[in-house]
Structure 1
Amino acid sequence: MPRINFHQQLAALKDKLLAMAALSQQALEFSVEAYLNRDLGLCAHVKEIEAAINAAETSVDEMAYDLLAKEQPMAIDLRFILSVIKINGDLERIGDQSSNIAQRAMALDDKPAISLPVDIEEMGSKVGVMIRRAIQALLEADAKLAENVIAMDDEIDEMNRSVQTELMEVMQQHPQVAEQSLNAIIISRNLERAADHATNIAEDVIFWIRGSDVRHKFSLSQEE
């Protein structure tokens, strides 16, 4: 009976984490939309979601550490709880990145909208896909899907580098739009960091399922 109760608690912990993951995914999508549409109301909503994410992080951590202390889990159950603690932190960081993007959008409220030679919308969409797939990999215990998320990170890195290069040139040639360009650069960097956190989540899913630490190894195997 105690073991049944333990696995029920593990299931409840997973549900808490998935609920938090949904908030983080929503925050990122809304923040990009707020930037693209200059929507201050949506910016405020992102801030509200971030507060909910922060509260959820504390709740998930408390439950995870309580299970570690009281149940002394072994093998795959121990790996799951350790992965939850790490994923919890990455989801909170995605909330932070989303809040930063919303802050940049708010800073542009009194600036004229201009067309820049970069596609923040596409970049945000691809990062959103990474987060959704990382969460799905967690939900379905799918290591192959997690590997797919990790493989996507290089494309986001390249997009971020392209944004930096293109917009630095814009700022040099058109200083009157320097603020809009700089905000786009900062938003691109925040998206790149959110993608890194999605990658971390995918790596932790693989650790949970397979018991192998793939940090730094996947990128090396991809280059060979």
Structure 2
Amino acid sequence: MPQDTPGHIVKSYEGELKRLREMIARMGGLAERQVADSAEALVRRDTDLAAEVVQRDVQLDAMEREVEQFCVRLLALRQPMAQDLRLIVACMKISQDLERIGDYARNGAKRAIVVSQQALTGSLNGFERMAELVQENLQGAIDALVGDDAAKADAVWRNDEPIDGIYNGIFRELLTFMMEDPRNITAATHLLFIAKNMERIGDHATNIAERVHYAVLGEMPGEERPKGDNSHSAVAGAR
């Protein structure tokens, strides 16, 4: 059997790196859909859609395992160097971020089912806007990976603060509802956890952006990540 020529090996390797980016892009697309549908299920009080989000989470889990196995194979067989090595390691870590995003979306969907059975507590406009910003950041981070675009990654990295601001506004509003009427406590508590999960999803999107910046340039962003004031948070362990 004839051996591969060096040119064929290079072409094959490039194809594998392209496939890796495509795997992350597909996983990112599903994660975005999970976030969008989880928020929509909450706002529309759609328990069927919420149940779909919960069921689909296993797909993200499977995709993370697939990416990890593919990365390990590339590391073992190709022994990549420099930027290729950073890309492969970054993709492995990004798949973990996306899997966690899926977990937060699933948890939000579960809580949306409970909230749908309670009296509506205030406006959900903040949740809609927060979900939109999170999706924009997540999509931007994945696009930055696919395009080796450090500038786009940096834009995502700097855009987390508005999400924190909305979260803090939601926190204060729900706390007021709970203080005004104890009957609001159950629904408001679930909404607090949903908001915190959404804020955590935003954090994972900026994590992805940081990993892309490092994969492309070989260094972490040189400044402190912009963050809103989270001193009001009493649900830091939300999952």
Note whether the superposition's TM-score is higher than 0.5: yes
Structure 1 counterpart of 2:184:
177
1:25 aligned partner: 32
Tell me which protein shows more helix as a share of its residues. 1
Give the gaps of 5 or more residues in structure 2: 1-7, 228-239
Aligned to 1:149: 156
How far the C-alpha of 1:130 sits from its partner, in A, is 0.9
Tell me the amino acid that sits aligned with residue 169 of structure 1.
T
Q: Which moved more, 1:44-53 or 1:18-27?
A: 44-53
Deviation track 1:177-206 (CA, whole Å, cap 9, x = no partner) reads 112211211111001000000000111111
**1:66 Cα deviation (Å)?**
0.8
Cα displacement (A) at 1:100: 0.8
Classify the secondary structure of the residue corresponding to 2:116.
coil
Moved runs in structure 1, 4+ residues, more than 2 A? 112-118, 214-220
Alpha-carbon contact 1:116-1:181 (below 8 Å) kept: no
8 Å contact kept, 1:118–1:166? no
* 1:153–1:195 contact (8 Å) kept in structure 2: yes
CA contact (8 A) 1:118 1:163 kept: no
Q: Which residue of 1 aligns with 2:44?
A: 37
Instruction: Quote the RMSD (CA, aligned, Å).
Output: 1.7
The answer for the alignment partner of 2:144 in structure 1 is 137
What is the Cα deviation at residue 35 of structure 1?
Answer: 0.5
- Give ranges in structure 1 of 5+ residues lacking alignment: none
* Structure 2 counterpart of 1:194: 201
Find the aligned partners of 1:200 and 1:110 in 2 and give their Cα distance: 35
Tell me the residue number matched to 1:100. 107
Equivalent residues of 1:79, 1:207 under 8 A apart: yes
Partner of 1:52: 59
Q: Distance in 2 between matches of 1:57 and 1:117?
A: 32
Q: Tell me what 1:166 maps to.
A: 173
Match in the other structure for 1:73: 80
Range with greater deviation from structure 2 (94-103 or 138-147): 138-147
**Normalising to structure 1: TM-score of the pair?**
0.93
Tell which structure's C-alpha radius of gyration is larger. 2
Identity level (%): 32
The residue correspondences of 1:108-123 to structure 2 (distance < 5 A) are 108-116=115-123, 119-123=126-130
